[in-house]
Structure formats: C-alpha cells, structure tokens
Amino acid sequence: MERHMEAVLKNLTSSVELLAAAAQSGVVEQWDKQTLSRAFRWARYCEHLVSRFHNNPAMVRVMEKQLQFTNQSLRAAFCGYSDVSFSDLSRCQHLLLVGLLNNPKLPISLMKMLFDTTSPVNTNNSEYQDVTGFCSHIIQSKFACKVLRPLTHSSLVGADAEVQGMMLMVRLAALLSQGSEVCRTEHFLDSVLQGCEGEPQHFCLVITAALLTPKNSSAETASQDFLLNWLEKKNSVLQTMCSALPTTLLMELAKKHVKFRDAYVDLLKKWASDMEYSIDDGVWVQNNSTPTVSFQKLTEHFLTLFEACPSQRDNVKNELIALKISDGDFDVSGLSVWGDLLSVLNR
Amino acid sequence: MFYTTRPGFFLAPPSECTWTRSPMSQLQSLNLHQTSEPLLDVQEMQFWLDKAVAWGQADSPDTQKDSCLHFRRLIEFLQQLLTHINNMSSTTESMKRMPFLGQFLGRLCWNSCIIADDTSRRLLFQCLWGLYSEQPGNAVERKANQWIRKVLCQLATEVDDVAVQELNKSMGLPPEEYHLKVLRKMVALLQENVGMSCNFSGNTNERCSCDSILATSEACVPLVSCPEAAPLIGALLQRPATCVRAHLSEDFLDALSSAYSSQGLSLEEPAIVSLWYHSLSSLEEAMLSLLESVLADTGSPLQKLEERIAQSVLPKACAQHCSIFLVASDIFRSVLKQTEGNESVKSLIQIFTSCFLREMAALQPQKCISLKAFFPQSPQRLLVPLLTLPSEMPQKAWRHHLNWLSSSLQRLAEEEDSSSSTRGNHKVFEAWFLLVQCSQWMQVTLQLLVMSVPEDCGPLLWLLTFYHHPTNRGHNKALQLTRAREALDHLLSLFSVLAGPLPFDRLQSLVTLLSSQPQQPSPSSLLILNLLVGFAVFFQQSLNKSTEILQTVVDQSGLVDEAACVLRSLELRLNEGSCLSGDANRVHLRIEALQNTLTHMHAGRSPAVNQARTLTHSIAGEST
C-alpha cells in the first residue's frame, strides 16, 4: 500500500513538472505526436486521481503536501510559475492545453494536429487516445452551444445552469455518501459560493437547477435537503434567489420543497416588517435592506405563493391577520403594513 | 466590441492595415497591386468583408440567420481564398495584396455559426496555416505567426463567462467536458420542443409549438456534421409534417444533403430515411451509390446482393414513404432505358422490388397504404397477379397464371402496334417494367417451358420473348419469336441426344446464334442463353451431358459471365420457393454443379466493373 502511495506521489510530481515544462520551457520544441499523446495521458491520469481520491481527506492532504513541495521547486525553476492545487488537477488536460498553446515553442506541426478538422470525434477512452483534433472538437461543442443558446428559452434556468446544478448534485451526493462531516460538505458549498462572488444571480440559478433536479433516489433527496439546510443559514443567498428569480421558478421551488416554501414565507414577512410608510409618497418602502423590494413586488410574491401552494393561503392570511391585530387592528391605510397587505391580497 | 479588445488582431503592420482605414480603401490598394495573376473579385471580397463586419459573432437571431443563409456561398469563397493564399510566395506578399485578410479571417473565426461548422472551420484553419510562415523572414511574418497562435489559443481555451468558469473550477468540471454537457443538454431540450405535438388551431394570430421548427432547423445548418446534434437533427427530420407552420429550412436540408454526400453525417437509420423523404438530392445520391456498388460487383452471389440492397435501407424507406418508392422507380426506369435492359440492372430491380414487398408485409397494417398508390403507372389489371409471389400460389396454378399473363400482355402489345401512339408505347413500357420488377415469374416461365417442351409452349415462349424484346423498335417481335422457337427446337434436339458424342454441327450453330454480336450480348442472344441455361438445369438429361453442352457453347460464344448470372438468378428463386417442389433438390444440385464448372472456366473476366462505373456515372450526369 505504502509503495503504491509512493508511486502515486511520484507520478503526481512528474505530471505537475510536465505541466510546467509544457507551458514554460523550450523542451516542447523537441516534442512529437507521441510525446504529446503521452503528455495528455498523464494529464488524464491526474484527473483520474482527483475523481478517485477527492472524497478521501487523508489522501487529499498527502497529495496537497506533495504538490506544495513540487510547486516550491518549480517556482524556483521557472519564473512566473503559478502553483497547481489539488482541485486544479481535475482540469489537468485543460491546463496542459492552455500551457502548450501559449508556449511559442510549441511546434506548428503539433498545433496543426491539435486543430485538425478531419478526424472523427474521439469517443473511446482507450489508453492510447489520439489527441488529433482535440481542440477542433472543443471549438465545435463550444460554438455549437452558442449557436443553440438563443433557442433554448424553454429552460428557465438555462442549459448552463442545469448542467452545473446537476454537477453540484453529483458532488454533494458523493460527499454525503462518504459520510463526510457536515462541515466539510458545507465548506464545499461555501467555496462554490465564493467562486461565484461576482455573479450571485448565476449561482442562484445553479442552486435552483439543483433543487429542481428530479428526485430519483434517496441520495438526491438527501443532497437537496442538505442544500436547503445550508440555504436557510445563508440568508443573503436566499434573499438574492427570491428577489432575482423569475416567479415561475419560485413557484416550482415552493411547490416542490416545503422547507423552501417556509423559508420563502418567512423572508416575505421579514421584507414586510422592514417596510416603513413614506408619508411624502404615500407608499410602503424598504429602507435599509438590499436588494430592495417594492410593496407591489411584495404583494406579487404573496400571490405567487398562494397560487403555487393554495393550501397555504389561509394559514398565511391568518398569520397576517394576527400581525395586523398586534399592530392595533386599525382599518386605515398607512398604519400597519400587514393591514395594507391584507387589503390588497383580499381584493 | 470584442475584436477591438483582442490583442494582436492586426495581422499587417499599422502602415499596411489598420482599423482606422475603411475596408474600401484597403480594397483599392488591392487593385493597385494587381498583376497579371487573376485576383479575387474585388466586389465579392467587399461583399464578404461587409458581411463579416455585420455578422459580428452571430449571436443574435438575425445575424445568425443571415450567416446560415450565406453559408454555402461563403464556403465557396473561402475555398477560392485558400487557393489564392496558397498561390502566394510568402505571407508578406499575401499581406501586401490583401491587407484586410487578417481582419476578415479573424472576424469569421469568432462567428459562432461559421466556426461551429466542420467545413468552414476546416477552410478557415487552412487559410490560417497558409498564412503561417515556418521561417518568418521579417516583422510582418513574425507578427502574423504570433497572431495565428493567439487566435487559435483563444478559440480553444477562452471561457467567456467568468462566473461559469469559477463555478466549474470549484466543482472540478473541466471546460471541455462542460461544453459537451451543455451542448447535450441543449440538444435534449430542443429535441423535446421539436417532439411536442402541434397545437395549431388555424388561427394565424395564435402561437403554435411548430413556430420554432423553422428557426431550429436554421440554427442546425452549421451543426449537421456535429455528432452531438444528431438527435436534434433526427427529431427535426422525423417530425410529422402535419402543420403548415412546421417547415424545415431549405438551407438546412441542403446542408444535410451535402454532408450526406461527403459522408459527414452521423444520423440514425430512421433519420436518414426522413432525410431521403425531405431531400431529393440525398435520395438520388443513395440510389446511385447503391446502383454503383451493385453493378460494379457482378460476381457475388445474389444472396449477397440481396443483403446489400436490404442493408441500404432503401427498400424499407420505400415501404414507409410512397414518394420515395416513386422516385426510386423513376430512377430505375431511366436506368433501364439507358442500358437497354441490362441484365444486372434487371436483377437489381427485381431484388429491390422483392425486398420492398417484404418490408411492406412487415409494416403494421395501419401504416400500410394500398399497393396501387406505389404503382400508379402500371396496368392495374396486371398489378396484383404480378406482385403475387410464386410461393404464394399453388404450383399447379402457375401454368394457368402465366398463360393468362402472357395473353394479357400480348393483347396490350397488339394494341400498341395498332395504335403506334406514344401513350400506347408508354403503356407497354410500364407493363414490361412491372414484369422486370416481378421477374421471378420469368424464372418460373423458363422452368415450365423447358419441362413441358415441345407441347403447349406458345404462351410461355411469347412471355419470355416479350421479356427480352419488349418493343418492336429494332427488335421486331415476330421475327424474334420465330428465332426463339427455332432455338427452342434446336436446344430440344441437342439435349435429347441420349448416347454417343454430341453433334458438332448443332453445337456450332448454337454458338453462332449466341455470338451474333461480339461487343455486347444482344437481347436475342440473351434470350437464347436463358433457354440454354434453362435446358441445362431443368431438362431431363444427365448432368454430365448437360454440363458438356453448356460448357462448350458458352465458352465458344464468350458468354461465361452471362450464363453464370442466369444461374445465380435461378438459384435465388429456388431459395425463395419459385421452383417446383418435387424438383427442388435435384435442381439445386445441378445448379451448384454447373456453377462450379463455370467458375473453373472463368479465366479472364470481362471489364464489367468499369462498365458499371461508366453506366452509373452517365446516369448521375443525366439526373442532375
């Protein structure tokens, strides 16, 4: 076992060195078709290592440590070298490709081979997979997506978010099935969220897609429950979801997940309670929360919820009545947000 | 816009080509440099340059549609451009002559429709390679090299959406896998839309699920060769054409048929059948390639041929779509006319028809339409009698059936002779064509004729003669009939010799009858050859003697291949139950023995392969 581990670490180091050499050195000038194919084979080997061990914290730690050493020595050898982390290895072929294509020493014959347009798509995953046309196929699928994208409006979350939502479910299921500690799975979700910092809306679509994946197995149910629990704690994500998602998607989510529905109701009540009456404009406005929701939008949300879950109509209305009573139960507009909400909802 | 931000996009140095200069002034500079060499048409170049600018990345429905609309022409232009680039002595020269080239190619590289398509991507890359200097001689060439590397690198590795990229990174999803997954997802979504049933109410203001069909098919123009898009393309093709709004784009069908002819499609069988249904040129292509492959191969057993015909899926397609069958029949008609009833063509048509009938029988009854619709031109009286297989009828009824057929056809032919109108001609041709399609009856005729000779053989002999001499034009049926009867008597006396050596003079005169034309066997010699082979197989004469006669005659008359062909068709019919059952085993053994003899004799093969090739080419030339 130990010897096996040793071999894995040695291979890992060689592969990362190979990545660095492919990107930074003039060695590639001597490469031929076989060398190139071998390099991609090593890159696939690294991707395989990640999928094999990413749920094994002990292994990940050992490999990360090994990567640290390797990065250190490579940093000394190549100026401008950027470190390779364990998670980077899952995109090892891509890293290799980026390195090679940006290396001006890459022989033009190899470049022509990578961009070859005559070879059929390589579907077999045999060990001696040919890299001829590798880039051409990437370009084909990438731009084919662009051609089809304007037509795929039938998916409200979009094909991109659907794919990522599905992937999120796969990763969650894998983490949960390993019996990993809750904090590790939460940490994973946190890191995904962090990656999307600039584009919270896209992240919301991905979460939505994951939550709307059909529940075919108990593993999927468990993943979605975990995701909902996590979402309850991430109020800002929930807020973004409820304010940015199209109504139909919110309805779908509320219909499918009781937990989401309850969180949605709570959020709507919170938004309402945050509102103040502006005497100048004669409307209820939200003052100190972002994103801001108008009174009209708020009532629309309530109506959406009632439409999605008719059984909730009476419950929620009773709650609103109770809140109105606690505000003094006056039937005068502008005094209690609950009273005004009820009068619009009862119309 | 994107191209202003891309570094190194200017292929030529600033003095030669800059963005500040309008494309027109660049083209004027093209004129100045004009030499005796033919250059690209300036106006055309200008047209494409303007188009490339207007299209941008083709990410709006309008630009996408326009890109697809000009696809074929653009490919032709890129082809010219490529030739042009390859004719230049160096990149420096290319840049001097065509300073706009970098701008033009660069823009096209980022046009989704153009770069997604196999053919235009290949041409674009070839143009880029054409501009790459292995040994750059100056700054322009070094810069061009850098630019080419940069463009390609960006095309393959750049991700436009940073959020998507970051998310993929944290989930460990490599970009190449991600693109493939998204593409498959999109294809599945669109496939679902296309599969939705039509809800058009007739009210033109209302939306219908078919409204998206045209746009989807237009978007698929650049994706016809993309294997991932095959399920969507299949769904589009197989959508029942029930709604007036569910049109497929002509460009889409053209793109499919041109990809089909260059073997660039990866569609499933039902989708291919639908393609033939929608695109006449693809159907013609398929028919001609079947004709070519079958006619080039004259040596294979007919079972092999039958397998090949069935594997072409064309008979199945014919059974599913009457219109495909009608086109196939028209192609067969024209081939038959051009080849004056070539034997290989005739057996191809016969086998094709029997495969078609089998596929018809296999169809679910509710999908079946009346056979009459498939044979609108055939004499309806003869249709059912001829389409009935010999095996579907009691053997005792065969003779009566054939006598009836013979007299019906005879009447039809006499009417033609008396009227001499083209309509009459047409009627006889159609009757004869149907006979060719169902010529398993001709093998039965041959057997019955030989076995009953010399009694009561008039109608059968007439039928056989008509099959080989359908018209009076150059055939003179009455004369042929007399000759056939003479040959029959001749053969009867030859095969009736019980002991002693074969009479040399009779053999010789038979050889003379058969070798009337040295170039190509005439219909009359083929008729006699059929009779000869029929006697060798079916007549009550010892196998040794029969073999000796056949061997001697076909060897001297040079008709070994043709005799083998007749034997093969008899063998095929035998397997299908078109032989008198009591005789089947004996006949089978005799055919086998005779075939062996002919195979051993087979020394120098006739150039049949070449003949077939020329034949199909001339047909292809005519149909286009």
| pLDDT tens-place string over residues B63-111 | 888 888 888 899 999 999 999 999 988 999 888 888 889 999 999 999 9
Task: Determine the Cα–Cα distance for residues B610 and B340; give it in Å rounded to an integer.
Answer: 18
Residue to substitute from B71, B78, B82, B112, interface A, most A β-carbons within 10 A: B112
How many interchain CB pairs under 8 A, A with B? 178
Flag whether pLDDT at B604 surpasses 60: no
CB B94 within 8 A of CB B52: no
pLDDT at site A12: 92
Segment 113-172 of chain B within 8 Å of chain A by CB? 113, 115-116, 118, 121-122, 125, 129, 132, 134, 146, 149, 152-153, 155-157, 161-164, 166-172
For residue B239, which amino acid is it? R
- Which residue has 């429709």 as its token pair? B113
Closest CA to B512 of B543, B487, B494, B530: B487
In a domain, A279, yes or no: yes
pLDDT at site B510: 78
Q: Does A111 touch chain B (CB under 8 A)?
A: yes
Domain of residue A292 covers: 260-347
Q: What is the ipTM of this complex?
A: 0.90
Flag whether pLDDT at A316 surpasses 80: yes
Compute the mean pLDDT over every residue in chain A, rounded to the nearest whole number: 86
From residue A18, alpha-carbon distances to A93, A102, A134, B556 in Å are: 11, 15, 19, 75
In a domain, A213, yes or no: no
Flag whether pLDDT at B405 surpasses 50: yes
Specify the number of domains making up chain A. Answer: 1
Structure-model confidence comparison of residues B619 and B559, the more confident one: B559
In a domain, A285, yes or no: yes
Q: Report chain A residues whose CB lies below 8 A from the CB of B134.
A: 108
pLDDT at site B5: 31
Q: Which residues of B1-36 are buried (b: 16+ CB within 10 A; e: fewer)?
A: eeeeebeebbbbeeebbeeeeebeebbebbeeeeee
Q: Does B181 touch chain A (CB under 8 A)?
A: yes
Segment 264-323 of chain A within 8 Å of chain B by CB? none
pLDDT at site B117: 92
CB B215 to CB A151 under 8 A?
Answer: yes
Q: Report chain B residues whose CB lies below 8 A from the CB of A142.
A: 179
**In the structure encoding, which two tokens stand for residue B590, read together?**
């005799």
**Continuous segment of H or E residues that includes residue A118:** none
**In the structure encoding, which two tokens stand for residue B414, read together?**
């006499």
Q: How confident is the model at residue B389 (pLDDT cuts 50, 70, 90)?
A: confident
Q: How confident is the model at residue B39 (pLDDT cuts 50, 70, 90)?
A: low
Residues near B550 by Cβ (< 8 Å), separated by ≥ 6?
B532, B533, B536, B563, B594, B597, B598
pTM: 0.81
Flag whether pLDDT at B419 surpasses 70: no
Helix (H, G, I), strand (E, B) or coil at A275: strand
Q: What is the pLDDT of residues A269-279, one digit of tens each?
A: 888 888 888 78
| Cβ atoms within 10 Å, residue B88 | 17
Measured in whole angstroms, the distance separating CA B526 from the mean position of its chain's CA atoms is 29
Beta bridge partners of A283: A278
Which residue among B157, B193, B212 places its CB closest to the CB of A97?
Answer: B157
CA distance B121 to chain A (A): 7
Long-range interactions of A163-166: CB distance < 8 A, separation 24+: A163/B178, A163/B181, A163/B182, A163/B185, A164/A206, A164/A209, A164/B164, A164/B167, A164/B168, A164/B171, A164/B173, A165/A205, A165/A206, A165/A207, A165/A208, A165/A209, A165/A210, A165/A211, A165/A212, A165/A213, A166/A209, A166/A210, A166/A213, A166/B181
pLDDT at site A276: 82
Chain A residue with Cα closest to B129: A112
Flag whether pLDDT at B620 surpasses 70: no
CB A146 to CB B59 under 8 A?
Answer: yes
Flag whether pLDDT at B614 surpasses 50: no
Chain A residue with Cα closest to B67: A147
pLDDT at site B593: 86
Task: Determine the Cα–Cα distance for residues B276 and B401; give it in Å rounded to an integer.
Answer: 37
pLDDT at site A207: 93
Structure-model confidence comparison of residues B313 and A291, the more confident one: B313
Span B327-351, average pLDDT: 88
Task: Determine the Cα–Cα distance for residues A169 and A210; give it in Å rounded to an integer.
Answer: 6
Complete DSSP assignment for B201-239 = -S-TTS--TTHHHHHHHHHTGGGTT-GGGHHHHHHHHHS
CB B223 to CB A171 under 8 A?
Answer: no
Q: How confident is the model at residue B31 (pLDDT cuts 50, 70, 90)?
A: very low
In a domain, A333, yes or no: yes
Which residue among A117, A121, A159 places its CB closest to the CB of B182?
Answer: A159
CB A199 to CB B162 under 8 A?
Answer: yes
pLDDT at site B417: 67
Q: Does B183 touch chain A (CB under 8 A)?
A: yes
Helix (H, G, I), strand (E, B) or coil at B614: helix
**CATH number of residue A336's parent domain:** 1.25.40.490
Task: Determine the Cα–Cα distance for residues A80 and B122; give it in Å rounded to an integer.
Answer: 35
CB A139 to CB B173 under 8 A?
Answer: no
Structure-model confidence comparison of residues A310 and A139, the more confident one: A139
Closest CA to B70 of B287, B222, B269, B234: B222
Q: How confident is the model at residue B579 (pLDDT cuts 50, 70, 90)?
A: low
Flag whether pLDDT at B448 surpasses 80: yes
Flag whether pLDDT at B608 surpasses 80: no
Q: Does A122 touch chain B (CB under 8 A)?
A: no
In a domain, A18, yes or no: no
**Continuous segment of H or E residues that includes residue B178:** helix B175-195
Residue A257 Ramachandran class (φ > 0 left, ψ -120 to 50 alpha, else beta)? beta
Long-range interactions of B406-410: CB distance < 8 A, separation 24+: B406/B459, B406/B460, B406/B462, B406/B463, B406/B466, B407/B459, B408/B381, B408/B382, B409/B382, B409/B435, B409/B463, B409/B466, B410/B459, B410/B462, B410/B466
Residues near A183 by Cβ (< 8 Å), separated by ≥ 6?
none
Least confident of A242-246, A328-332, B8-12, B159-163: B8-12
pLDDT at site B207: 67
Percent of chain A at pLDDT > 70 equals 95
Flag whether pLDDT at B147 surpasses 50: yes
Which residue among A50, A195, A199 places its CB closest to the CB of B169?
Answer: A195
CB A117 to CB B132 under 8 A?
Answer: no
Residues near B326 by Cβ (< 8 Å), separated by ≥ 6?
B374, B376
pLDDT at site B602: 62
DSSP B583: G
pLDDT at site A1: 60
Task: Determine the Cα–Cα distance for residues B296 and B613; give it in Å rounded to an integer.
Answer: 6
From residue B3, alpha-carbon distances to B7, B54, B139 in Å are: 8, 13, 22
**In the structure encoding, which two tokens stand for residue B222, read together?**
């650049």
Structure-model confidence comparison of residues A347 and B356, the more confident one: B356
CA distance B147 to chain A (A): 11
CB A64 within 8 A of CB A85: yes
Flag whether pLDDT at B157 surpasses 60: yes
CB B413 within 8 A of CB B498: no
CB A141 to CB B176 under 8 A?
Answer: yes
In a domain, A278, yes or no: yes
Segment 228-287 of chain B within 8 Å of chain A by CB? 228-229
Q: Report chain A residues whose CB lies below 8 A from the CB of B222.
A: 144, 147
Closest CA to B174 of A167, A306, A294: A167
